[in-house]
């Protein structure tokens, strides 16, 4: 429930679908397990809790959703062990070495044969739409997984005019300044980790962890390298890492935030989960808004 890595998108037009229509739209693309010959399948699942059978959860100006993905697991060692005798037999029958294309065709046929016996691995990725800011916040650090989620949302909703939430050129400029302790987002200060990379073909990299980032040995790298990841932290709030592609990673919430709802207990599951969602999303949105305002206001 507490997002750890996020990809954020900004919608160029607000979503105006009502709660009932949204629930129906997501339900039409609900998750069902892989069939025998399928390697992977995704669909909408229940964002709040498996026992709460709703595909969307409305809360103030936000609605939450979840994507469940199931994939068949076929270890390479198993495939290779089964494939080796088939390749030998086919080469013997042909009386010559097999071409790369022939080997690949045999491998693909074998995988289709093995899929019904493969183990299944499932994952759940949650996200929410913030109507006030027209943001789509996805709980994943993977750009490819985020694109898969956007594609499924587009199928369900008909359209989804989603763009990256930050201008990459402006963000890259700001990361350089932030490391120099200039123009930091409101209420943020430098963390203790940074990664930098040279923009030339060799792309020399350097990484500092648990380090004083204002130290000369760190700052001198700004002369010939670009910041690719930088950790920031609020004095009594979130700690996170901003990547140069706009991803937010390694989000850490303060203990005081976790403790705010402890008195509610868990007797009323929906109320408790709802209260935790509010805390999480409010604190995350505040941090995202500060970063966005600083990047968007840069020149």
User: Would 2 be classed as within a structural domain?
Assistant: no
Quick one: 62 and 160 in the same domain? yes
Quick one: 194 and 257 in the same domain? yes
DSSP-H helix ranges across 29-122: 76-94, 100-114
User: Would 256 be classed as within a structural domain?
Assistant: yes
SS (HEC) of 137-203: EECCCCHHHHHHHHHHHHHHHCCCCEEECCCHHHHHHHHHHHHCCCCCCCCEEEEEEEEEECCCCCC
- Number of structural domains (the chain) is 3
User: Would 56 be classed as within a structural domain?
Assistant: yes
At 216 the pLDDT is 93
Cβ proximity of 67 and 123 under 8 Å: no
Quick one: 159 and 172 in the same domain? no
At 89 the pLDDT is 87
**What does the alpha-carbon distance between residue 200 and residue 222 come to, in Å, rounded to a whole number?**
14
Contacts (Cβ under 8 Å, ≥6 apart) of 198: 204, 205, 224, 225, 226
Quick one: 129 and 89 in the same domain? no
User: Would 242 be classed as within a structural domain?
Assistant: yes
Quick one: 157 and 173 in the same domain? no
User: Would 153 be classed as within a structural domain?
Assistant: yes
**What does the alpha-carbon distance between residue 49 and residue 66 come to, in Å, rounded to a whole number?**
10
**What does the alpha-carbon distance between residue 234 and residue 257 come to, in Å, rounded to a whole number?**
13
Average pLDDT of the residues of the chain: 91
Distances (CA, A) of 129 to 36, 135, 141, 193: 34, 6, 17, 30
Quick one: 233 and 264 in the same domain? yes
**What does the alpha-carbon distance between residue 87 and residue 279 come to, in Å, rounded to a whole number?**
57
At 171 the pLDDT is 95
Q: What is the mean pLDDT of residues 75-103?
A: 86
Distances (CA, A) of 173 to 2, 177, 183, 278: 30, 7, 11, 32
pLDDT tens, residue by residue, 217-274: 999 999 999 999 999 999 888 999 999 999 999 999 998 898 888 888 888 888 899 8
Percent of the chain having pLDDT more than 70? 99
pLDDT tens, residue by residue, 117-168: 778 889 999 999 999 999 999 999 999 999 999 999 999 999 899 999 999 9
pLDDT tens, residue by residue, 166-208: 999 999 999 999 999 888 999 999 999 999 999 887 889 999 9
Quick one: 129 and 26 in the same domain? yes
Boundary residue ending a domain (164, 192, 225): 164
What is the signed CA dihedral for 131, 9, 247, 178, rounded to 10 degrees?
Answer: -80
Quick one: 155 and 28 in the same domain? yes
Quick one: 194 and 152 in the same domain? no
Structure tokens at 290: 């500060």
Is pLDDT above 80 for 37? no
- pLDDT band (50, 70, 90) for residue 295: very high
Is pLDDT above 60 for 113? yes
At 28 the pLDDT is 96
Residue at token pair 């029958």: 93
More confident residue, 298 or 198: 198
Main-chain phi, psi angles of 50, to 5 degrees: -55, -25
**What does the alpha-carbon distance between residue 278 and residue 283 come to, in Å, rounded to a whole number?**
8
Range of the domain at 61: 7-34+42-69+124-164
What is the signed CA dihedral for 123, 129, 133, 134, rounded to 10 degrees?
Answer: 110
At 74 the pLDDT is 78
At 95 the pLDDT is 86
Structure tokens at 287: 């941090």
Q: What is the sign of the dihedral through the CA atoms of 181, 187, 193 and 197?
A: negative
pLDDT tens, residue by residue, 240-252: 999 999 999 999 9
Q: What is the mean pLDDT of residues 59-74?
A: 90
Cβ proximity of 280 and 4 under 8 Å: no
At 167 the pLDDT is 93
Q: Which among 69-73, 74-78, 285-289 has the top mean pLDDT? A: 285-289
Decide: helix, strand or coil at residue 228.
Answer: strand
- pLDDT band (50, 70, 90) for residue 298: low
User: Would 25 be classed as within a structural domain?
Assistant: yes
**What does the alpha-carbon distance between residue 57 and residue 63 come to, in Å, rounded to a whole number?**
5
Quick one: 158 and 14 in the same domain? yes
**What does the alpha-carbon distance between residue 61 and residue 282 come to, in Å, rounded to a whole number?**
11
The CATH number assigned to the domain holding 60 equals 3.30.310
At 55 the pLDDT is 95
Q: Whole-prediction pTM value?
A: 0.84
Half-sphere exposure of residue 206, counting CA atoms within 13 Å on the CB side? Answer: 17
Quick one: 213 and 186 in the same domain? yes
Structure tokens at 272: 């408790």
User: Would 1 be classed as within a structural domain?
Assistant: no
Quick one: 136 and 189 in the same domain? no
């Amino acid at each position: 429930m507490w997002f750890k890595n996020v990809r954020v998108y900004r919608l160029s037009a607000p979503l105006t679908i009502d709660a009932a229509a949204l629930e129906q739209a997501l339900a039409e693309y609900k998750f069902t397990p892989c069939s025998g010959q399928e390697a992977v399948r995704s669909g909408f699942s229940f964002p709040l809790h498996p026992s709460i059978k709703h595909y969307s959860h409305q809360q103030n100006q936000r609605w939450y959703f979840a994507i469940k993905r199931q994939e068949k697991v076929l270890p390479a060692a198993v495939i290779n062990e089964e494939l080796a005798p088939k390749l030998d037999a086919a080469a013997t029958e042909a009386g010559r070495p097999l071409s790369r294309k022939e080997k690949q065709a045999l491998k693909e046929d074998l995988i289709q044969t093995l899929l019904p016996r493969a183990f299944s691995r499932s994952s759940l990725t949650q996200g929410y739409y913030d109507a006030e800011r027209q943001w789509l916040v996805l709980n994943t650090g993977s750009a490819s997984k985020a694109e898969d989620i956007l594609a499924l949302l587009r199928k369900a909703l008909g359209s989804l005019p989603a763009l990256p939430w930050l201008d990459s050129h402006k963000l890259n400029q700001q990361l350089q300044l932030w490391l120099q302790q200039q123009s930091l987002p409101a209420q943020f200060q430098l963390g203790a980790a940074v990664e930098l990379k040279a923009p030339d073909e060799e792309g020399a990299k350097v990484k500092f962890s648990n380090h004083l980032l204002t130290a000369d040995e760190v700052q001198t790298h700004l002369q010939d390298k670009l910041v690719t990841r930088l950790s920031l932290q609020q004095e009594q709030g979130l700690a996170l890492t901003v990547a140069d592609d706009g991803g937010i990673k390694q989000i850490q919430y303060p203990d005081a935030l976790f403790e705010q709802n402890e008195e509610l207990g868990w007797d009323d599951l929906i109320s408790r989960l709802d209260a935790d969602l509010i805390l999480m999303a409010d604190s995350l949105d505040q941090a995202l808004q500060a970063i966005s305002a600083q990047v968007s206001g840069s020149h």
